[in-house]
Amino acid sequence: RDTSEPILPNAKLEPKETGVAKAIFETNIDGQSLELAWSADKISPEELSDISIFDTHCARAYVDNHGDYAYVPYGLDILEGLASICVELKSRATKEKTNNAPSDNAYSSLTSEQTAVAAALKNIVLNKTKAEDIEALAILSEQEQKRLNLLNKTLAEADPKQKAQAIRHKASRFESLKSRMADAVKVIDEEKLSELQRLLHKYNSAKKAAELAATEFKDTPGQLPGTGSDEWKTLFDAAREFAKLSHGEHKFPHLPENSKCPLCQNELGDLGASNLVRFDIFIGQEVEKAALDARKDAARAYKLIRDASLELNLEDALIQELREVNPELAETCLSMQSEIVLRRSKILEAAEDKLKWSDVPKLTHDPREKLTENIESLLMQAKALEATADEKTKTAMVLELAELDARNKLFEVKEAVLEAIKKHQYCQKLQKCIESMDTARISRKSTHLSQTIASQELADALNEELKQLKVHELKVVMKPESSRGRTKFKLVLEVPGGKAPSSILSEGEQRAIAIASFLAEVKLAKGLGGVVFDDPVSSLDHRRRWEVAQRLAIEAKARQVIIFTHDIYFLCIIEQKAAEIGTNICKNYIRRTPQGFGVHSDELPFDVVGTKERVKRLRKRLADVQAAYLPG
């Protein structure tokens, strides 16, 4: 019944030498001899479970801590052990829960407002808020961050209407700057560069063709050097224009032979008149006309780039406004102005064959997209400021700001919130564990099993044992009591006073009650396993020794009974009762010798044997002494 007392190895040896307690049991099971190895650190062989042992600890197992005698049906101590484990686990879980109690100090300020963040934080204790919910709330998109900044600025403005007007003017100035940039870029963009390059190429090709035709014209005999050149063509065109004034009545170059030359103002004569016609034919040829047209187109494209105004008008005030909005944007605008001017100069150099077209630098800074974003942002600010004039709209903006601001602050304490969620979930699991460790259900189950197991048969058997040991004043009453999984049946005195047994019974009677309970339990087990008694009568009055000895002798008729005792008188009583009943008895003497502890022999101590045996032993000792003395 009691397993709290450990079985120790040889206490005289060092622990390193002894190790754990071990033994070999020589048994006889159904006529077959069998050796069973037992070790304190291993599970005992199943066959040994049939052996029942009664000692001082076992006697106390039938009595609770208050000295009340009780019987606990065998096997229900498992439920008692389970209840003890539950109490221990409950204590550990409670301590673990206390040590891991979550704290909301880091985010308690966020729970006071009516926001989605506050609702999520409050629901943590209810296990309704998951870590994923906090992760989603704590992250603001770029657009939401901009909106938060906008609302902060808007709602903090003292005169929103005036501020909105100023912002719109700034946005207008930025829009004008963007327009100037677009116009400047359009003048020197890749399309204009390609167009100029194409026109110059076309002109050069036409010029070469015209020069080829002019070479043939120049080779005409009698003409001055340079006739047919560009300078000469300019001179001839000037004469054509002058003829409209000097010879208005005639169509140039068909002038009369007697008229004067528009250039030298001498009489033309036949040769002069024919030369004017021949020169005009040369000028009017298709190839020459194409060269002139190409030259005009290329010159027009060249002048368009050369004469265009590329100034962005980046005044100090405008630059300051840009820097207030975005310092990087202001620097990009200044860089763009320099790049535009440089690119135009390089385009003109390339047009004049002073630079390769491939070496014309490209624009690397173009802030127009950023300008557009800032313009839109400014207009949005202005719109938001103007909207605050409406109280309903302003209230909605205040609520929106509260939501975004709470989410922004949640990001700062996110790790603490996630840690709190983990601890809440852990503590909730521990709480379920604590609640499940309640021993009330184990007690109810123990009571149910006890009421089933502790039947009238058990009561009769226990009362019969008490009667045989002459403790018949005490009767068993089926009164189950459960505490922490342990169900016991009280032994109540049938006396009018109803006093507690421990206050009335002697120590001998108390020990007899324990033996009676033990024997009743062994009897109802229906098995034939041996029983071992360790000093069963150490505290009994000598009158009840006879009843105990007789009861053990009777039990030895049905099973093996092993009795350890220091009481020689009790041994004599057992011998007498065994002889009366006809029970075989085998006596052994266990003592300490030079060989060690626990040495046994069939020879009993001198004090135990009768007169005849004592005389026999004395004569033998005398013979041994004489045999040792005579040799000297």
**What are the tens digits of pLDDT across the range 237-247?**
788 788 888 88
d(CA 52, CA 31): 20
Burial class (CB in 10 A: 0-12, 13-18, 19+), 74: middle
Lowest mean pLDDT among 185-194, 222-231, 305-314, 348-357: 222-231
For residues 333, 339, 344 and 346, what is the CA-based torsion angle, rounded to 10 degrees?
Answer: 180
Q: Which of 95-104, 223-232, 508-517 has the lowest mean pLDDT?
A: 223-232
pLDDT confidence bin for 478, thresholds 50/70/90: low
Amino acid (1-letter code) at residue 444: R
| Structure tokens given for 609 | 């044997």
pLDDT of the residue at 318: 86
Phi, psi (degrees; rounded to nearest 5) at 45: -60, 145
Same domain, 448 and 399: no
Whether 488 shows a pLDDT value over 60: the answer reads no
Q: Is residue 373 part of a domain?
A: yes
pTM confidence score: 0.44
318 in a domain, yes or no? yes
Cβ-Cβ contacts under 8 Å for 349 (sequence gap 6 or more):
355
pLDDT band at 554 (very low <50, low <70, confident <90, very high): very high
Span of 5-9, 325-329, 355-359, 362-366 with lowest mean pLDDT: 5-9
What percentage of the chain exceeds 70 in pLDDT? 83
Q: By mean pLDDT, which of 396-400, 546-550, 611-615 is the weakest?
A: 396-400
Cα 277 to Cα 206, 283, 510: the distances in Å are: 23, 10, 162
Confidence label for 71 from pLDDT (cuts 50, 70 and 90): low
Q: What is the mean pLDDT of the chain?
A: 80
603: which residues sit within 8 A by CB, 6+ positions away?
589
- What is the band of 433 on the pLDDT scale with cuts at 50, 70, 90? very high
Domain assignment present for residue 92? The answer is no
558 or 451: which leads in pLDDT:
558
User: Looking at residue 92, what is its pLDDT?
Assistant: 93
| Backbone angles phi and psi of 328, in degrees to 5 | -65, -35
Asked if residue 102 has pLDDT above 60, the reply is yes
Query: Do 506 and 373 lie in a common domain?
Result: no
DSSP output for 142-201 = HHHHHHHHHHHHHHT-SSHHHHHHHHHHHHHHHHHHHHHHHHHHHHHSHHHHHHHHHHHH
Same domain, 342 and 404: no
Kindly state the tokens that stand for 552: 């053990």
Mean pLDDT, range 505-521, rounded to an integer = 80
pLDDT at 495: 52
For the cut 70, the answer to whether the pLDDT of residue 209 exceeds it is: no
Do 145 and 227 reside in the same domain of the chain? no
pLDDT of residue 94: 92
Provide mean pLDDT across the span 573-586: 91
Q: What does the pLDDT read at residue 376?
A: 84
One domain, residues 244 and 270: yes
Least Cα distance to 367 among 335, 393, 389, 394 occurs for: 335
Following CA atoms 557, 561, 565, 568 in sequence, which dihedral angle do they give, to the nearest 10 degrees? Answer: 20
- Chain position carrying tokens 């557009």: 372
575 within some domain: yes
73 pLDDT band (50/70/90 cuts)?
low
Domain-embedded: residue 195: yes
Note the pLDDT of residue 536: 86
Domain match, 23 and 118 both: no
**Is it the case that residue 374 has pLDDT exceeding 70?**
yes
pLDDT attached to residue 541: 63
Which tens digits make up the pLDDT trace of 346-362?
888 888 888 898 888 88
Residue 576, token pair as written in the block: 């007498």
Instruction: Write the pLDDT tens digit of every residue in 105-123.
Output: 888 888 888 888 888 888 8
228 pLDDT band, cuts 50/70/90, is low
CA distances from 204 to 117, 286, 303 (A): 74, 15, 17
| Range scoring the smallest mean pLDDT among 59-68, 403-412, 470-479 | 59-68
Q: Are strands 596-601 and 52-54 parallel, antiparallel or unpaired?
A: unpaired
Instruction: Return d(Cα 206, Cα 297) in angstroms, integer.
Output: 12
Quote the strand ranges of 431-569, DSSP E: 474-483, 486-493, 531-534, 561-564
Of 92-101, 176-185, 218-227, 309-318, which range is least confident? 218-227
pLDDT reading at 1 higher than 70:
no
The arithmetic mean of pLDDT across residues 571-598, rounded, is 87
Q: Residue 493: what pLDDT?
A: 53
Q: Which domain holds residue 374?
A: 164-386
Please state the rounded mean pLDDT for residues 86-114: 88
Query: With the C-alpha atoms ordered 168, 170, 173, 178, is the resulting torsion angle positive or negative?
Result: negative
* Amino acid, res. 630: L
Same domain, 588 and 546: yes
Question: Does residue 211 lie within any of the structural domains?
Answer: yes
Average pLDDT over residues 307-326: 85
- Tell me if 3 sits within 8 A of 80, measured CB to CB: no
Q: How far apart are the first and last CA of the chain?
A: 59
In a domain, 281, yes or no: yes
Q: Is 60 exposed, middle or buried (0-12, 13-18, 19+ CB in 10 A)?
A: middle
For residue 67, what pLDDT band results from cuts at 50, 70 and 90?
very low
Q: What mean pLDDT do residues 178-189 have?
A: 87
β-bridge mates for residue 35, sequence order: 26
188 and 125 assigned to the same domain = no
Higher pLDDT, residue 453 or 581: 581
- Long-range CB contact pairs, 562-565, < 8 A, 24+: 562/530, 562/531, 562/532, 562/533, 563/532, 563/533, 563/536, 564/532, 564/533, 564/534, 564/535, 564/590, 565/533, 565/535, 565/536, 565/537, 565/538
Confidence tier at 66 by pLDDT (50, 70, 90)? very low
Residues 263, 119 share a domain: no
Rounded to 10 degrees, what is the CA torsion of 426, 435, 64, 481?
-170
CATH of the domain at 583: 3.40.50.300
What pLDDT does 93 receive?
92
Looking at the fold, whether 266 and 288 belong to one and the same domain comes out as: yes
pLDDT digits (tens, 9 = 90+) for 36-61: 999 988 888 888 888 888 887 776 66
Comparing 522 with 433, the larger pLDDT belongs to 433
- Pair (305, 206) in one structural domain: yes
Instruction: Of 115-119, 127-131, 144-148, give the lowest mean pLDDT range.
Output: 144-148
171 and 150 part of one domain: no
- Residue that finishes a domain, picked among 412, 428, 461: 412
91 part of a folded domain: no
How many folded domains does the chain comprise?
3
Q: Please, what's the b/e burial string for 520-548 (b: 16 or more CB within 10 A of its CB; e: otherwise)?
A: bbbbbeeeeebbbbbbbbbebeeebbbbb
